[in-house]
Amino acid sequence: MKGPLVSLWLLLAAIICFGLFFAKYEVQSLEGELATLNREILDRQGELHVLRAEWALLSRPERIHHLSARYLDLKTVSAERIGTPDGLATHLEAGK
Amino acid sequence: MTRARRHQTDRAQRRAIETGRTRLVLMGTLAMFAFLAIGVRLVDVMVLREGHEPRLADTNLPVAWQTERADILDRNGEILATNLRTASLYADPKKIQSPKQAAQRLARLLPGLSRAATLTLLTSNRRFIWIRRHLTPRQQYAVNALGIPGLYFQHEERRAYPHGHLAAHVVGFTGVDNRGLAGIEKSFDEVLRNGSGPLRLSLDVRIQHILADEISDAMARFQAIAGIGVVMDVTSGEVLGLVSMPDFDPNQPGAAAPDALFNRATLGIYEMGSTFKIFTAAMALESGTATIQSIYDASKPIRVARFLIRDFKPKNRWLSVPEILMYSSNIGAAKMAIEVGTDRQQAYLAKLGLLDQADLELPEIGMPLRPKRWREINLMTISYGHGLAVSPLQLTSAVATVANGGIALPATMLRQPDASKDVAKEGTRVFSPETSERMRRLLRLVVAQGTGRNAAAKGYLVGGKTGTAEKIATKGYARKSLRASFVGAFPMQDPRYAVFVMLDEPKGDKKSFGYATGGWVAAPLVSRIVTRMAPLVGVAPIDENAPAIKQRMFIEINDRGQRLASF
């Protein structure tokens, strides 16, 4: 009666030991992964920052203006070309 | 062994067992209590206090990526100034095996680096020498590829201004150590370094560009030596555009001429000329010394002491208040001012913020130049903008006050929350809404039929006043060197933006019939600026000839009984 009980306890202890050991290593590796991810997030944020600055440089009005003058035939919108929904209705009725 | 003796040993043994048992029970009880206490504590910790698994892992969460100095953004979030990480190259001369070769290779790689100077540095006894600050990524890669031991990189941050010269005078610039030396960079130096997030300005880069583009075009066309432009939201005092030309590139402030660093729009003070007639008319109407119908004798120049007050294009007759503004009569303005009086003129100008330094978030703010003693001659010349010098920003603010219903608002470079656009609550009242309403009609009249005709932008109901001031020469005023300006607001039926432009020493050309006056040089500029910016800021065009609008802008000119509508 005494023998099996002891071996049962020993088995339980061994399982818990192993479980604890396993969990600890699992947590450690996850923590490492988390740290890497956090570092990567920071890196990406830094890259985003540079890209935003670059975008600001590329989309500055002066450059857009220059490019549109060079490649597009656009003119300043005159007031006559801007309408209202009400104006549209009368316009459509006149067209009927 | 005797019986008695055996009995004695027996008793002694029994006593010993008794003692042992008592001790055992005592120890057992103690141990039991100890375990009980631990058990209770375990239950307390595991079941009662934190009955579940912790929801959050206890670990270092990522801190947000931060720069040493916060960004400066425009009102729409466009980056005006930001910090970029760069690598700076330094060397430990002790560890460099062949200084001669290293110096030669580095000089070949980095433009502007002197081989001889580098060699002296590399052979010196110091343990740390800077070779080049802020390398480009490509240069850093190339230096790395050289594989010279003893060369190291230090990560640093550098201020970058993607928009370059566009808002240079507003944003300012920083020194090598990233401390603000001018503009917003200087006035908000602490805030920016505290890392409390980006700073949002009231500036709109699109409007800023339109302003800068038009002014630089006009400067080139009229060969002007300088140009100034201000756009302000009259309902909040927010400055949407502030241009001072010539300007500079804040990325390389060292390369800029001192003249270019000077912020003419806020630090420069100028005698504004006829644009001041707006305030003269407004204070005369407000204080009741004049009505729209009042007429003044402008038939001949006024002679005061050794001065002669004349009109640029004399009408040589009596003029009504609307006519004085329309034809920009100095004589008429001076006569209106005499009725207002010195004290009231000073009081109104003070309330409009034209006598003290402007209250703006920039370190470069000019102090108005006012007469030491306010004599009658000062009263008269100031009525048409001579004898009192103010900054363009102050003038724009004051015109915003006249146009927005009479409320003086402090000008600001920072974006204001939309909720605070309650003009009456924020500012101080200078003119009554009725006076403001009359002034709007008068300003509209100047553009519809007067000297400001060239400022008209179809559909946007621009109103304003031209100004042509003679520059002060060593002796008196110089007739030929002028400052041509226009200040106005739009749309006049419900003003939202005030616009100011000024060109310094423009020369008239064929298209302007040789004129270099505000009406010919500055006014057309405002027309183009308004046409370009109105769709951007959501001002819907209106039909200027619609009866409702005509009626709203109607004003009695009192031109010998003749009634005219201004549109």
State yes or no: cis peptide before B99, omega within 30 of 0. Answer: no
Return the closest-CA partner of residue B294 out of B285, B307, B283, B282: B285
Looking at the fold, whether B382 and B308 belong to one and the same domain comes out as: yes
Identify which of B55-59, B201-205, B421-425, B560-564 has the greatest average pLDDT.
Answer: B201-205
| Contact: B78, A77; criterion CB under 8 Å | no
Q: A36-40, B104-108, B365-369, B509-513: which has the minimum mean pLDDT?
A: B509-513
| Contact: A60, B79; criterion CB under 8 Å | no
Mean per-residue pLDDT for B228-248?
A: 92
Mean per-residue pLDDT for A2-23?
A: 91
Residue B558 is assigned to a structural domain of this protein: no
Total of domains in chain B = 2
Give the closest-approach CA distance of B463 to chain A in angstroms.
Answer: 17
For residue A79, the chain B residues in CB contact (below 8 A) are: 457-460, 531, 534, 541
Which of A 6-45 lie inside 8 A of B, CB atoms? 31, 34-35, 38, 41-42, 45
Looking at the fold, whether B371 and B488 belong to one and the same domain comes out as: yes
pLDDT at res. B376: 85
For residue B209, the chain A residues in CB contact (below 8 A) are: 60-62, 65
Write the secondary structure of B140-162 as one string of H (helix), E (strand) and C (coil).
HHHHHHHCCCCEEEEEEEEEECC
| Contact: A60, B67; criterion CB under 8 Å | no
Confidence of residue B216 (pLDDT cuts 50, 70, 90): very high
Return the closest-CA partner of residue B337 out of B299, B365, B368, B309: B309
- The dihedral through the CA atoms of B556, B559, B564, B566 has a sign that is negative
pLDDT at res. B301: 86
Looking at the fold, whether B483 and B513 belong to one and the same domain comes out as: yes
Mean per-residue pLDDT for B7-28?
A: 90
Of the residues B236, B244, B274, B566, which is catalytic?
Answer: B274
Residue B58 is assigned to a structural domain of this protein: no
Q: Is the pLDDT at B33 greater than 70, yes or no?
A: yes
pLDDT at res. B328: 87
Mean per-residue pLDDT for B127-131?
A: 85
Give the closest-approach CA distance of B198 to chain A in angstroms.
Answer: 12
Order of strands, edge to edge, in the sheet holding B477-490?
A: B239-245, B226-233, B497-504, B477-490, B463-472
Nearest CA in chain A to B60: A35
Torsion of CA A40, A45, A50, A56, to 10 degrees: 150
Return the closest-CA partner of residue B392 out of B361, B359, B366, B427: B366
Q: Which token pair is B196? A: 């409390």
Q: Rg of chain B's alpha carbons, rounded to an integer?
A: 38
Give the closest-approach CA distance of A2 to chain B in angstroms.
Answer: 23
Give the closest-approach CA distance of B66 to chain A in angstroms.
Answer: 8
**ipTM score for this prediction:** 0.78
Domain ranges of chain A: 2-74
What CATH number does the domain containing B143 carry?
A: 3.90.1310.10
Looking at the fold, whether B185 and B226 belong to one and the same domain comes out as: no
Q: B381 lies in which domain range? A: 209-552
Identify which of A87-96, B307-316, B426-435 has the greatest average pLDDT.
Answer: B426-435
Looking at the fold, whether B134 and B258 belong to one and the same domain comes out as: no
Confidence of residue B476 (pLDDT cuts 50, 70, 90): low
Q: Is the pLDDT at B423 greater than 60, yes or no?
A: no
Confidence of residue B320 (pLDDT cuts 50, 70, 90): confident
Return the closest-CA partner of residue B177 out of B189, B162, B168, B188: B189
Residue B439 is assigned to a structural domain of this protein: yes
* pLDDT > 90 fraction of chain B, expressed in percent and rounded: 32
Looking at the fold, whether B214 and B105 belong to one and the same domain comes out as: no
The answer to whether the CB of B243 falls within 8 A of the CB of B254 is no
Q: Which of B164, B208, B535 has the CB atom closest to A77's CB atom? A: B535
Pairing, β B72-73 against β B79-91: antiparallel
Q: Which of B62, B164, B209 has the CB atom closest to A42's CB atom? A: B62
Give the closest-approach CA distance of A22 to chain B in angstroms.
Answer: 18
Q: Give CA–CA dist B236/B410, Å, rounded.
A: 8
What is the distance, to the nearest Å, from the Cα of residue B148 to the centroid of all Cα atoms in its chain?
A: 47
Catalytic residue status for B274: yes
CB atoms within 10 A of CB B487: 33
Q: Give CA–CA dist B468/B523, Å, rounded.
A: 11
Confidence of residue B200 (pLDDT cuts 50, 70, 90): very high
Residue B79 is assigned to a structural domain of this protein: yes
The answer to whether the CB of B305 falls within 8 A of the CB of B375 is no
Q: What is the pTM of this model?
A: 0.81
pLDDT tens string B75-95:
998 999 998 888 888 888 888
Looking at the fold, whether B218 and B135 belong to one and the same domain comes out as: no
For residue B78, the chain A residues in CB contact (below 8 A) are: 56, 59
Q: Which of B65, B162, B541 has the CB atom closest to A57's CB atom? A: B162
The DSSP element (H or E) to which B230 belongs, if any, is strand B226-233
pLDDT at res. B567: 40
Residue B563 is assigned to a structural domain of this protein: no
Which residue has 């996850």 as its token pair? A30
Boundary-marking domain end, from B168, B201, B234: B201
The answer to whether the CB of B486 falls within 8 A of the CB of B500 is yes
Is residue A88 less than 8 Å (CB to CB) from chain B?
no
For residue A62, the chain B residues in CB contact (below 8 A) are: 163-164, 166, 209, 213
Boundary-marking domain end, from B201, B231, B266: B201
How many contacts (CB atoms, under 8 Å) link A and B?
77
- In chain B the first and final C-alpha atoms are separated, in Å, by 146
Q: Is the pLDDT at B466 greater than 70, yes or no?
A: yes
Q: A90-94, B198-202, B366-370: which has the minimum mean pLDDT?
A: A90-94
Q: Rg of chain A's alpha carbons, rounded to an integer?
A: 36
The answer to whether the CB of B339 falls within 8 A of the CB of B295 is no
For residue A46, the chain B residues in CB contact (below 8 A) are: 65, 85
| Contact: A62, B213; criterion CB under 8 Å | yes
Looking at the fold, whether B412 and B485 belong to one and the same domain comes out as: yes
Strand ranges in B2-50 using DSSP code E only, listed in sequence order: none
Return the closest-CA partner of residue B490 out of B252, B84, B207: B207
User: Which residues are CB-contacts of B421 (< 8 A; sequence separation ≥ 6)?
Assistant: B235, B236
> What DSSP string describes B338-382?
HHH-HHHHHHHHHHTT-SS----S-S--PPPB--SS--HHHHHHH
CB atoms within 10 A of CB A55: 13
- In chain A the first and final C-alpha atoms are separated, in Å, by 105
* pLDDT > 70 fraction of chain B, expressed in percent and rounded: 92
Identify which of A63-67, B109-113, B175-179 has the greatest average pLDDT.
Answer: A63-67
pLDDT tens string B402-416:
999 889 988 999 988
For residue B85, the chain A residues in CB contact (below 8 A) are: 46, 50
SS3 assignment, position B181? coil
Looking at the fold, whether B455 and B515 belong to one and the same domain comes out as: yes
The answer for B232, left when phi > 0, alpha when psi is -120 to 50, beta otherwise, is beta
For residue B64, the chain A residues in CB contact (below 8 A) are: 45
Give the closest-approach CA distance of B531 to chain A in angstroms.
Answer: 7
Confidence of residue B518 (pLDDT cuts 50, 70, 90): confident
What CATH number does the domain containing B395 carry?
A: 3.40.710.10
Is residue A52 less than 8 Å (CB to CB) from chain B?
yes
Looking at the fold, whether B444 and B509 belong to one and the same domain comes out as: yes
Torsion of CA B273, B274, B275, B276, to 10 degrees: 80
